[in-house]
Chain A
């Protein structure tokens, strides 16, 4: 009797230990590369080697001195910001129509809007490339912006859609009965309440498109050099240690954006 209980306790201990080990393993596996990159970014070596023998901020100096790399960062902003604005300009009215109107085939349309998120990226990129060749958009910055806008659209449809479902339609009716025009009721009440969701969706869309590397490789045609594209290209001539500095800055930047987006979403949750 007591022997069996001890055996059970042992099993439980073993399972518990294994569980903790697995959890630790996952955390290490996920965090270690990120930490490694940050550590490496403070190496003063000319090649990427671990552990570095000399420490310093040389990689950062090189990065900020390089027109090529800074140019690619600028290009990334130039592509992502208009792409996200475009996604919002198309997505927000689409969400209003999907949630508030009586059009038919709503769920099919919603699924279509979210499709870019679930389609295999490479397959989508190949299809888009073939299409762009026909309409002469390959290598054009607007082609990349359009492709990235498609990529950001699902975030708008999903996040703004969820935000709108928490806002009662009666609010707009009340505003109208109080004398507001339809436009004023929509902008002043519904869109005002949706603003945190819209910003959150745009931040997520921005983070996604900013480091998008597959689409740009296809439809950029080697002429639109965004930051991820530049990193890809540099890999062909061996890894430059400067990439570690870029990666570290990128992680810090997106980390801050994600925190902001999360805050906004929570605020809008409290409000509704």
Chain B
């Protein structure tokens, strides 16, 4: 795909909204809560996923994302709230009657059944005729690019092939929606990237609603129409990948999803334009974009600073602009140089470590221990709450 300016809002080839009007409503969560005794794993999630959307739930382990997925699949009951699918309240419906296909991380293929039997299982329990089952199984196996393995047993297949069988099996009975629980997690990196691209192609072809759970932000970026970032049992932010990356709403989203530096700052009065905020950060006073969710009197205000929004200058160049820092490590990556530096190394206490992405090409990384000043370029920086 051609790289597009993230600021471009219209993304015609990924427009789930167009399909939505054609095929009705998708998935809707209303105040979903899950308690395990005293522990609250999911603390009230409202979510609307339009029909045909590929939504990724991204979160670190323990954020409640797998619990949420299992409630949607029907493997565990909700403690509170309701789950709607295709305009039907399925909160109390058995998993098999929810019309949801599920793909697990460990494939979960039936080891005593052949590939064909695995894929046809959903049709068999639905009492479809044998000929129809096999025709449909062949159809979806062709779709996932796995032909000619009908009579193999799962243990005779490679990891990638097994994963394809798992996809085919989930697709075979034409469910309204697919749930995937880190389906690529067990594959090696190269295969993971390839399978992710293929999954995306499959989704573009089939257009069913997909809820995809992962902790890998690259996977989320490759696949998703929309991403919901989960933390401590709540959805911290939801949006298109471009918005979450370029204008994160919280420090957590900026760090976990964007991989940005998150540095505490002080809010100052007197911003010039609406939607901006004057702040003091790293010895600089700047006007930056502000997240609407940042309270004016927030004590935990931070700046989300992408690695390429920082520059390093000579320690005595110009007047005292930027913060003194020392280079901790520097790696040449081809198109970029990734520098880690510690701000104000002479100050007591743990240093603030910043990741700075310098242009690569013919440039040479600065030696470790070099004294520099870190300067913020405010254009792509956002003021957020922690």
Which residues 73-111 in B have Cβ within 8 Å of A in the complex? 73-75, 94-98, 100-102, 104, 106, 108, 110-111
B94 in contact with A181 (CB, 8 Å): yes
B101-129 to A contact mask, C-beta < 8 Å, 1/0: 11010101011100000000110011000
B111 in contact with A178 (CB, 8 Å): no
Complex Cα spacing A219 to B73, Å: 53
B122 in contact with A179 (CB, 8 Å): yes
Complex Cα spacing A174 to B101, Å: 9
A180 in contact with B125 (CB, 8 Å): yes
Among the listed stretches A46-54, A114-122, A132-140, A165-173, which one makes contact with chain B, having 4 or more residues with CB under 8 Å of it? A165-173
A271 in contact with B111 (CB, 8 Å): yes
Q: How far is the CB of B79 from chain A (nearest CB, A)?
A: 16
Complex Cα spacing A182 to B97, Å: 12
Contacts of A126 in B (CB 8 A): none
Classify chain A: how many residues form its interface, as a range. 20 to 34
Say yes or no for B257: interface residue by CB 8 A criterion.
no
Q: How far is the CB of B98 from chain A (nearest CB, A)?
A: 8
Contacts of A192 in B (CB 8 A): 112
Q: Which residue of B lies closest to A176 (CB)?
A: B95
Complex Cα spacing A178 to B179, Å: 12
Contacts of B110 in A (CB 8 A): 171, 174-175, 189
A181 in contact with B96 (CB, 8 Å): yes
Contacts of B75 in A (CB 8 A): 173, 176-177
Q: Interface residues of B, CB < 8 Å — how many?
A: 26
A271 in contact with B102 (CB, 8 Å): no
A168 in contact with B94 (CB, 8 Å): no
Complex Cα spacing A189 to B74, Å: 19
Complex Cα spacing A94 to B300, Å: 54
B121 in contact with A178 (CB, 8 Å): yes
- Summarize A's interface: helix, strand, loop or mixed: helix
Q: Which residue of A lies closest to B104 (CB)?
A: A170
Contacts of A180 in B (CB 8 A): 96, 121, 125
Say yes or no for B173: interface residue by CB 8 A criterion.
yes
Contacts of B74 in A (CB 8 A): 176-177
Say yes or no for B231: interface residue by CB 8 A criterion.
no
A175 in contact with B112 (CB, 8 Å): no
Q: How far is the CB of A113 from chain B (nearest CB, A)?
A: 27
Which residues 200-216 in B have Cβ within 8 Å of A in the complex? none
User: Which of the residues A168, A177, A189, A270 comes within 8 Å of B96, measured between beta carbons?
Assistant: A177
Say yes or no for B169: interface residue by CB 8 A criterion.
yes
Say yes or no for A184: interface residue by CB 8 A criterion.
yes
Contacts of A176 in B (CB 8 A): 74-75, 94-96
| Given contact pairs A177-B74, A180-B96, A171 touches B108 in the complex (Cβ within 8 A) | yes
Q: How far is the CB of B152 from chain A (nearest CB, A)?
A: 14
Q: Which residues of A come within 8 Å of B, CB atoms?
A: 168, 170-171, 173-182, 184, 189, 192-193, 270-272
Q: Which residues of B come within 8 Å of A, CB atoms?
A: 73-75, 94-98, 100-102, 104, 106, 108, 110-112, 121-122, 125-126, 155, 169-170, 173, 179
A-B contact pairs, 22 of them (CB 8 A): A173-B73, A173-B108, A174-B104, A174-B169, A175-B121, A176-B96, A177-B73, A177-B75, A177-B96, A177-B98, A177-B101, A177-B102, A178-B96, A178-B122, A178-B125, A178-B169, A179-B173, A189-B110, A193-B112, A271-B111, A271-B112, A272-B111
User: Considering the complex of A and B, which 7 residue pairs feature the smallest CB-CB distances, nearest first?
Assistant: A178-B122, A179-B96, A177-B102, A170-B108, A176-B95, A179-B125, A174-B108
